[in-house]
Structure 1
């Protein structure tokens, strides 16, 4: 996978923004690893290769100005090489509100999606790509306390769904212009609880040749699905609905699989105690029993159809909490559906220069969520220095990365963070350590008012707990077979050359400013008339 290709594509997409400024981008893509959790209830098991993607964009107004993180993207790429298909799931997109108008978030997301959608620039060998995401409006996703900054204006629920529809429409429209082979593109979206007419009136896409179907993509046959069930077997819902972290579809899929009717969660049957006489019996039936146990369809997965699944999604708590939510899916295929639907001869993906270990991305994410905040400009400057130094230091192999002191501004009433923050250690954290142990404030410091203080039950230390968005609990698929085979990809080794050649990049933008809007004039202030006070004459 050519990571520097993604970095250069993002910088190229930012060159056309109006104004004069300099952008700095950090692109972290992990090496592929085996993953069987994309379709955990599919029979037979569907193997995929997972890569984590984290993009951090900073802006610098002038050469003397400090850098400020302005936007970020967190995504996952699943490569199903046996079917020549890939799934790009965009989990989080967020901004800090510190950018100069116009915001670069739209251009960043557009360039990111177009890089994977275009078959010419797609870094994996796959004929079909599915872009999937769940749009739910929140004040902040990636940058803690950024919603407290006055310059950030989060989109409402309806405007966020409309924004995603415009971005995906622009990607599909430009894809049809750039490619010569004219790949097949189909777009689908569902707003749970809305009819088709209500959804079309609520969110509108710009006029283009891209058509949107208000339905789920599991009934069409034009674009191959990542995990379609065999034609001779009974349909299983686990072949259609992918399992993503922090997605309401995954929670509902778990409930359908593990809750049967009104009896609730079924306990596993009690095993019969093995007697001495059983040792003399031939174990001829053991493989068949094990096979039947593995191929047993859980819960109601065989009785719930995709149409019923999406109809019942309209009554889920995540979709009826008073905010409009949306599920978007875009399928792109560059070959015939019949040719790529069956088993493919595509080889196993390989590691490429510029990739980093998945643990490195996890540590950067932990530092981003627990070690910094973006409530003010001063906090944003310090937070940008911390995150950028952490990425460079981890790639270079430094033993410790010192977190800078974040002084509290006087006008604010929030408490001052500790000036004795522990350095970010490069050593691999223990499996029993909590994520917040990477950057932990001193015990005598008071956390900001927007952060909660939680006490660990196993220790007497007080840790910071930043406001988090609702997350889907981990899957309860313990009864499913686990692929215990070793990962065929070695852990990549990062260096300073990797950082400069593949991860970090910058571009200077020098374009004319946006012209003023036609018909919009600046309000003319009326002259202020000062009245003189007349004193009453004494008689």
Structure 2
């Protein structure tokens, strides 16, 4: 079962009567060396981009409108048989019929990669990373202006992610003769373990029927049960913080790692270490004494150099100092969640090249083009604009699969809207084409070098067959509607007798007469 069918299958049990339409874009693997840019040597990794777009029709005659979008990345590290699933952004438009399908869709996507029976890559260990930060909008521009959108608050969002990952851990179903090791970790920067547990417990609206996994408050870089993605260097003294913390786009951990690696000490920029005199005056490198070569590797050698304070800051200190970062002290609670799942993947995928494209995958350029069109050329502030944006983007996906490159329609303002911002002079079309979604700036220094070696496999070519078999799909659901909470409370209040409450009065002690 491919990813599209797996997601559609999970949506069939959602309460209510509606019709879901999904678009799943998975790029082909490509070489990537920026996952652990400060590790020496850097491990070979392969990157895939994921974009899931879900639209909905409340009635058969109503138009489709986007309700949920998920952006994620999958990193495959064959040297350690590990994979990293990084959830970059999850967003909704607020225009879905209740209940929202966002939780079901996210949970199904993570389970597809966590379960060894459906995992599409050959890796025995999967690490799920995400950073929970509550914002009004992520992937749907101007969706925060829609009155029906009610995004979760900071603590409720962290509790929501913890509940989703707990359900994913429960859904992992390895083979009968295989034992799965599952470890869950989380950190709320600035909170102690007791404060974090109390805050998330209060934010949970209802108790889950699924058995609860034991969560560890902290990081996973001290445990040895599940192998870490980055292989340990030889010799071991060269191991530093860059071998533990992966770097993702638009992630606060990556920005902090850059500062630790490139920011000079408080005293200012240090002078370079004094060079030792050569004791043997020969041009042949073999005549250089071993002591001088070792000194060169420690201070100036490219292969053995540890940048900045990466060799001094431990993983415990890194997470403690994250509590003082701007992203974590801006007045809102944030959370880092990491799930480690260790169980052998399907034997049918062993022996395959990690860079070989699979059926249904698209080129990374097509994926980036659709994402850029979504975030820079469309608008979701009203129902009418959301319908138009959904039609434009879904047509663009189909057109790109057919070999046609449609240009998304520019933002238009209806005449009925008389806001001052809508009456301003429109921007030139050329300037709109140059807009790009915000992202983390490129790395500083000359340490990060992209892998320019050629790909032995050609880029996948999409077609209508690929579009109908792997990318686009739909499903109609007709299930009982969940009972209203308000109605349940009123019914309970009318049928149950009032509870008698006895108030105990405090008897005052009489003063003795002197």
Normalising by the residue count of structure 2, what TM-score does the alignment of the two structures yield?
0.84
Q: Which moved more, 1:122-131 or 1:254-263?
A: 254-263
Deviation per residue, 1:39-90 (Å, 9 max, x gap): 0111111110000000000001122110000000000000001111100000
1:497 corresponds in structure 2 to 465
What displacement does 1:326 show? 0.3
2:425 corresponds in structure 1 to 446
What displacement does 1:478 show? 1.8
Structure 2: distance between partners of 1:478 and 1:509:
54
1:369 aligns with 2:366: no
Instruction: Evaluate the alpha carbon distance shift between residue 320 and residue 223 of structure 1 in structure 2; reply closer, same or farther with a 3 A threshold.
Output: same
Task: List runs of 5+ in structure 2 lacking aligned partners.
Answer: 274-280, 492-514
Selected match of 1:233 from 236, 246, 256 = 236
1:7 aligns with 2:7: no
What displacement does 1:473 show? 2.3
Instruction: Evaluate the alpha carbon distance shift between residue 62 and residue 404 of structure 1 in structure 2; reply closer, same or farther with a 3 A threshold.
Output: farther
1:183 corresponds in structure 2 to 180
Structure 2: distance between partners of 1:191 and 1:240:
19
1:222 corresponds in structure 2 to 225
1:381 aligns with 2:368: no
What displacement does 1:379 show? 0.5
1:311 aligns with 2:320: yes
Structure 1: distance between partners of 2:132 and 2:270:
33
1:247 aligns with 2:216: no
What displacement does 1:282 show? 4.8
Contact 1:378 1:409 in 2 (8 A): no
1:323 corresponds in structure 2 to 332
1:360 corresponds in structure 2 to 366
Structure 1: distance between partners of 2:269 and 2:165:
39
Contact 2:35 2:45 in 1 (8 A): yes
Structure 2: distance between partners of 1:213 and 1:409:
55
Structure 2: distance between partners of 1:212 and 1:414:
51
What displacement does 1:293 show? 1.8
Selected match of 2:42 from 42, 45, 56 = 45
Contact 1:294 1:480 in 2 (8 A): no
What displacement does 1:405 show? 7.4
SS in 2 for 1:520: helix
Deviation per residue, 1:511-530 (Å, 9 max, x gap): 111123364239xxxxxxxx
SS in 2 for 1:140: coil
What displacement does 1:472 show? 2.9
Instruction: Evaluate the alpha carbon distance shift between residue 264 and residue 467 of structure 1 in structure 2; reply closer, same or farther with a 3 A threshold.
Output: farther
Structure 1: distance between partners of 2:287 and 2:351:
35
What displacement does 1:239 show? 0.3
SS in 2 for 1:187: strand
Structure 2: distance between partners of 1:64 and 1:405:
25
What displacement does 1:488 show? 2.8
Structure 2: distance between partners of 1:179 and 1:411:
61
Selected match of 2:443 from 475, 494, 512 = 475
1:21-40 map, 5 Å: 21-40=18-37
1:441 corresponds in structure 2 to none
Instruction: Evaluate the alpha carbon distance shift between residue 362 and residue 481 of structure 1 in structure 2; reply closer, same or farther with a 3 A threshold.
Output: closer
Structure 1: distance between partners of 2:232 and 2:26:
31
SS in 1 for 2:2: helix
Higher helix share: 2
CA RMSD of aligned residues (A): 3.1
Contact 2:166 2:212 in 1 (8 A): no
Contact 1:408 1:415 in 2 (8 A): no
Contact 1:137 1:157 in 2 (8 A): yes
What displacement does 1:415 show? 5.3
What displacement does 1:259 show? 1.6
1:21-420 map, 5 Å: 21-175=18-172, 181-204=178-201, 206=207, 208-230=211-233, 232-234=235-237, 235-264=239-268, 281-282=283-284, 292-334=301-343, 347-401=353-407, 403=409, 406-408=412-414, 410-411=416-417, 413=419
SS in 1 for 2:317: helix
Number of residue pairs aligned between Structure 1 and Structure 2? 467
Structure 2: distance between partners of 1:129 and 1:11:
23
Task: List runs of 5+ in structure 1 lacking aligned partners.
Answer: 270-277, 337-343, 418-444, 448-452, 523-539
Instruction: Evaluate the alpha carbon distance shift between residue 389 and residue 191 of structure 1 in structure 2; reply closer, same or farther with a 3 A threshold.
Output: same
SS in 2 for 1:368: helix
SS in 1 for 2:66: strand
Instruction: Evaluate the alpha carbon distance shift between residue 101 and residue 268 of structure 1 in structure 2; reply closer, same or farther with a 3 A threshold.
Output: farther
Instruction: Evaluate the alpha carbon distance shift between residue 356 and residue 380 of structure 1 in structure 2; reply closer, same or farther with a 3 A threshold.
Output: same
Instruction: Evaluate the alpha carbon distance shift between residue 492 and residue 128 of structure 1 in structure 2; reply closer, same or farther with a 3 A threshold.
Output: same
What displacement does 1:186 show? 0.3
1:501-520 map, 5 Å: 501-517=469-485, 519-520=488-489
What displacement does 1:292 show? 2.3
Structure 2: distance between partners of 1:225 and 1:487:
27
Structure 2: distance between partners of 1:264 and 1:487:
43
Structure 2: distance between partners of 1:196 and 1:402:
48
SS in 2 for 1:77: strand
